[in-house]
Amino acid sequence: MKGYDDTSYGSAFADVYDDWYQGISDIDATVADLLDLADGGRILELGVGTGRLAIPLAYHADAAPGAVAGIDSSEAMLARLHRRDHENRIEITLGDMVEDLPEGPFSLVFVAYNTIFNLRTALAQSACFASVTSRLAPAGRFVIEAFVPDDPPRRGDDISVRTLEADRVVLSISRHDPENHSAEGQFVELTESGGVRLRPWSIRYATPLELDAMAARSGLTLEHRWESFGRTEYRPDSARHVSVYRAP
């Protein structure tokens, strides 16, 4: 998408992210699983955003002081996280989740809800695995939550209605290129009082098997694969997956 860069998503969605995506997953189940997988060690979230998960992790009764860190390329997203983190419990880094990861070691690094796909090339995604591995403690874990691409993958253009209200309409416009494993689009928000607001997004998706191969090249092995947090059984027809990779 012409003009799109690593900061575009955060700038476009920071003001609506909590409203639009707060209910995308079971936060209690996610936090419980992540704390269990961290086994009392430090936790790093890639693409921490406004703190949908980092805040409940950092303020959970079982979380140790200074146990949670987060990185994001969006100043707008991190500004909202900072306002919510009223006790400054989260170590926040502004930067890229390949080149700018904070120093480890971390017992657990995780990337939630398709955020790994915001890295828009296979090379960048593979480099992320390598960077994460270098920050993991011995036997540390890297957890990825993502959708399973359609088989066969979607192709072509699509227009649909996301929201329809008396004074507000949100249209979803997207383009899908299966040869490059890419999808991009715009949420076009039209309001009676505010006019038009464009919210662009762009991803490079990967299958679970492709992610497994990236993990293996970095020395990680697949320990668990669930359909969702809460450890729902992963099945051949599952539309999502939570994959837990472990370091030696």
Give the model confidence (pLDDT) of 88-141 as tens digits.
Answer: 999 999 999 999 999 999 999 999 999 999 999 999 999 999 999 999 999 999
Q: Determine the Cα–Cα distance for residues 109 and 247; give it in Å rounded to an integer.
A: 11
For 131-162, the pLDDT digits (tens) are: 999 999 999 999 999 999 999 999 999 999 99
- Stated pTM of the model: 0.95
Give the SS3 label for residue 216. Answer: helix
CATH assignment of 8-149+205-246, among 2.60.40.2470, 3.40.50.150, 3.40.390.10, 3.40.50.11260: 3.40.50.150
- Domain map (residue ranges) of the chain: 8-149+205-246, 156-203
CB environment 103-122: b (16+ within 10 A), e (fewer)? ebebbbbbbbbbbbbbbbee
- Strand order of the β-sheet with 90-94 is 90-94, 68-72, 43-46, 106-111, 136-147, 240-246, 221-228, 232-233
DSSP for 196-215 reads: EEEEEEEEE---HHHHHHHH
Cβ count within 10 A of residue 79: 12
Does position 63 have pLDDT exceeding 90, yes or no? no
**How distant, in Å, are the alpha carbons of 14, 47, 102, 119, 246 from that of 144?**
22, 12, 18, 13, 12
pLDDT of residue 65: 79
Does position 189 have pLDDT exceeding 90, yes or no? yes
Q: Determine the Cα–Cα distance for residues 126 and 163; give it in Å rounded to an integer.
A: 36
Does position 194 have pLDDT exceeding 90, yes or no? no
For 198-247, the pLDDT digits (tens) are: 999 999 999 999 999 999 999 999 999 999 999 999 999 999 999 999 99
- CATH-assigned architecture of domain 156-203: Single Sheet (2.20)
